[in-house]
Amino acid sequence: MNRVEHLFDSNTLLGECPVWDVRERVLYWIDIDGQKMHRYDLASDNNITRNLSGKIGSFALREQGGFLLAMEDGFYNYDFTNEILESRGCDPEPEQKENRLNDGRCDLGGRFWVGSMNDLNRIQGQFDGNLYCYHPNGECVSHNLPVGVANGLAFSPDASYMYFADTMREIVWRFEYDVNQGKIWNQQVFLDLKNMPGKPDGACIDAEGCYWLAHVYGGKVARYTPEGKLDREIKLPTQKPSMCAFGGTRLDTLFITAISTNPDSKSGADKYKGGLFAVNPGVVGIPEPRFSA
């Protein structure tokens, strides 16, 4: 799989958050606007879909099994097999009804970091989103970081850095990070992509500490070194890749989700209708951390 493979047409409106479960050896991913969660078995080429009762922005595997979902109105536990959705009673932004949780990821300490956004106000250039850290004890800490579209969350393999992007600003930041306390500081611009094709969307980290970023509307994923230098690009048969994640039995397959604002389109670069893609980039990823509660 040295070339990009289109795994299947999924009619996904806003594909996001691919996460490889090393225990089950399957890929989970979501359709935000379609309000769905998918389970893809690479070995059997079988995809199972579950309908949800609202928009899901991201999710994490739980240590005890099941999932932590970041929904429009807060955090939920979810049993994919039995389709049981249970609120955890925590909405980070109860007064901002038009906001929703978006991109999120667990750190190596078992905490879940997630950013928020406003689908309406972002069109007007307003920065109504924020960054939160949801702790296993139920505490949700605001980091008071105004953003337009929260994306690009990832952690370095040695847990010394956290990456976070704002798609509207076309910037990826890097923070120094304390995994023991779950604290971030020293916010620096890691990538300024204003003059690059596309905009920064979802991301992941490989075992060498390089940052893989989906350039939505740019038709590619790109690998950046820890110093912020462009290492390589992989061109894709869609203009709207949304996020990437390493998976497969050796964690050597890069899975890529995509967006299709017009799922009925049959022409051009987006004929795959927000499908799921995969490629072997020649490097391996790291296992996805789990939420510890």
Q: Give the single-character DSSP code of 281.
A: -
List Cα–Cα distances, 38 to 63, 74, 119, 275, 289, in angstroms. Answer: 19, 20, 23, 12, 19
Give me the pLDDT at residue 136, please. 97
Query: Are 43 and 20 spatial neighbours (Cβ–Cβ below 8 Å)?
Result: no
CB atoms within 10 A of CB 142: 12
Residue 154 lies in a domain: yes
pTM, whole model, 2 decimals?
0.95
Question: Across-strand partners of 184?
Answer: 177
Residue 285 lies in a domain: no
Q: What is the CA radius of gyration of the chain?
A: 17
Domain residues for the domain of 75 are: 5-279
Give the N- to C-terminal CA distance of the chain in Å, as an integer. Answer: 36
| Active-site annotation holds for 103 | no
Give me the pLDDT at residue 1, please. 64
Residue 293 lies in a domain: no
Residue 287 lies in a domain: no
Give me the pLDDT at residue 266, please. 47
Query: Are 78 and 60 spatial neighbours (Cβ–Cβ below 8 Å)?
Result: no
Give me the pLDDT at residue 264, please. 44
Residue 129 lies in a domain: yes
Find the CATH number of the domain harbouring 201.
Answer: 2.120.10.30
Candidate list 91, 201, 206, 270, residue with the active-site label: 201
Residue 176 lies in a domain: yes
CB atoms within 10 A of CB 76: 22
The pLDDT averaged over each successive group of 10 residues in the chain (293 residues) is 85 94 98 97 95 98 98 97 97 93 98 94 81 97 96 98 98 98 97 95 99 97 98 95 98 96 51 85 98 96
Contacts of 65 (CB under 8 A, 6+ apart): none
Residue 174 lies in a domain: yes
Residue 284 lies in a domain: no
d(CA 240, CA 237): 9
**How many structural domains compose the chain?**
1
